[in-house]
Structure 1
Amino acid sequence: MKGQDWYQTDEVAEGYEALRFSGGGALIDRREKAAVRSALGDVDPGHRVLEVACGTGRFTAMLADLDADVVGLDISREMLAQGREKAAAAGVDDRIEFLRGDASRLPFPDDHFDTVVAMRFFHLMDDPAPFLAELRRVSSEQVIFDTFNARSLRVLYTWALPMGSRLYAESQVAELLADADLRLADEQHDFVLPYGFYRGLPGSVAKPFRAVDRLVGRTIPGDYVATVSYWDARLDDD
């Protein structure tokens, strides 16, 4: 998996959210959380959620705030430390267990969770198939994840990122889901302008661009060249 060493430094962990989700990046954070909440729907108290590659706990704290029982797993001790601080500050640390672990060998029995969430994860995969199969193994109902798209503007600069970025065609995602015995329940595509564009702008400047982006994204061409896709996959009942 790309980026393991890069994410396991104090400097990267401490500056991760400020670099990506401040200013115009806050619009990205808001949209990603909305996608996860939309896929989850109504959550009963005690709904069991595993977040793989939980990082600094952006989604982990949000999920616990919905009264879910959450396990956040990440390979980076430094990222997990940030997640624990975030959960404590939000007052939800009693509903979250943070664990250090490898997503390729999840330390849980089959069907242990109702939902498995893996955001900002699949772009790091050299071979995503065994990872998706492992996420499906420990889920009894649902797997939520996102991918960056091969037909988007991200293709113009992905080579310049610290660890690169795997881009996906929709046909590749469909094949991955079929191989993992998962069926697609819902999909959303967004951000014609790539993430890097928004991160470079103050929030007040980014908002008008985001408004235009959303209008373009609602068209067929705009949807086709969206930077990111959010996938809601369910276990195949057949």
Structure 2
Amino acid sequence: MKGQEWYQADEIAAEYDDKRFSRGGRLIDRREKQAVLEALAPLEDKTVLEIACGTGRFTTMLADQGADVVGLDISAAMLQQGRQKAHEAGVDETLEFIRGDAARLPFPDDHFDAVLAMRFFHLADDPQAFLGEMRRVSRERIVFDTFNRYSTRSIYNWALPMGSRLYSKREVEALAETHDLSIVDSQHDFVLPYGLYRITPNALASPLRRIGDVFDALPGVNRLASVSFWTTRID
């Protein structure tokens, strides 16, 4: 995985949410959570594994919606942030955090109803192997996102601390087909790049988003979307 040392640093974990999901970044957080809930609902009594759960943004939300959740991450510092978040939300009993490697998941085959991976595949050096492990432990569904090859992200990708692996629609379809996964839904969003929202004050973020929505609605523009959310079903 790219940037493992950077990602696991204590100071990165402590500042992670504030740097990415404050100011206009809160809008990104809401949109990602909406996509996850739509992909996994209904959640009551479902067992869900989140790969690279980080600070527990999604795991805490899923547990609050009635799922029995395991969050796995390689960073002890990120997991500590997640445990604190789960405690504050009162979902400790239905949410477990485990430190582990997504390439060697410590679970038996078909162990979870669904597996989730957000903000993960852009760092994966071997996406085939990682998706294979996710496929192995999931009974029904795998949900993930990708950053897109033809998006504005490609312009500033070189300047990011870890860079990003960018995907075309055809590459994702081939990746899913290799593991006998059917793509049952896909959503393509944020023609305007994430970085622009993060530096935008709250008062201007919503108007900026409305401008982005105008572009998103134009025919063929979803090819330029920064991110795609993929919902797959095991065949």
SS of match in other structure, 1:63: helix
Residue 228 of structure 1 corresponds to which residue in structure 2?
Answer: 227
> 2:180 — aligned with what?
181
What's 2:30 paired with?
Answer: 30
User: 1:117-132, aligned counterparts within 5 Å?
Assistant: 117-132=116-131
The count of corresponding residues between Structure 1 and Structure 2 is 235
- What's the TM-score once normalised by structure 1's chain length? 0.97
The list of structure 1 runs, each at least 4 consecutive aligned residues, that deviate by more than 6 angstroms after superposition, is none
Aligned counterpart, 2:217:
218
Q: Deviations over 1:35-56 (max 9, x none)?
A: 0001112223x21000000000
Distance (whole Å) between structure 1 residues aligned to residue 43 and residue 33 of structure 2: 15
* CA apart distance, 1:180: 1.0
The equivalent residue for 1:87 is 86
Residue aligning to 1:146: 145
- Separation of aligned partners in 2, 1:218 and 1:186: 18
Letter in structure 2 aligned against 1:181: D
SS in 1 for 2:185: strand
Instruction: Report the counterpart of residue 21 of structure 2 in structure 1.
Output: 21
DSSP 3-state at the match of 1:120? coil
Distance in structure 2 (CA, Å) of the matches to 1:89 and 1:136 = 32
Please say which of residues 93-102 and 218-227 is displaced more in the overlay. Answer: 218-227
Equivalent residue number for residue 40 of structure 1:
40
Equivalent position of 2:197 in the other structure: 198
Q: Which amino acid aligns with 1:16?
A: Y
**1:220 counterpart SS class:** coil
Q: How many percent of aligned residue pairs carry the same amino acid?
A: 60
- Which residue number corresponds to residue 154 of structure 2? 155
Amino acid in the other structure paired with 1:214: D
- Does 125-134 or 219-228 show the bigger shift? 219-228
TM-score w.r.t. the length of structure 2 is 0.99
CA distance in 2, matches of 1:43, 1:55: 21
Q: CA RMSD in A?
A: 0.7
AA partner of residue 64 (structure 2): D
The aligned counterpart of 1:4 is 4
Task: Please give the alpha-carbon distance, in whole angstroms, between the structure 2 residues aligned to 1:167 and 1:47.
Answer: 31
Q: Provide structure 2 residue ranges, at least 5 long, that are not aligned to the other structure.
A: none
2:96 aligned partner, one-letter code: E
C-alpha deviation, 1:16, in angstroms: 0.2
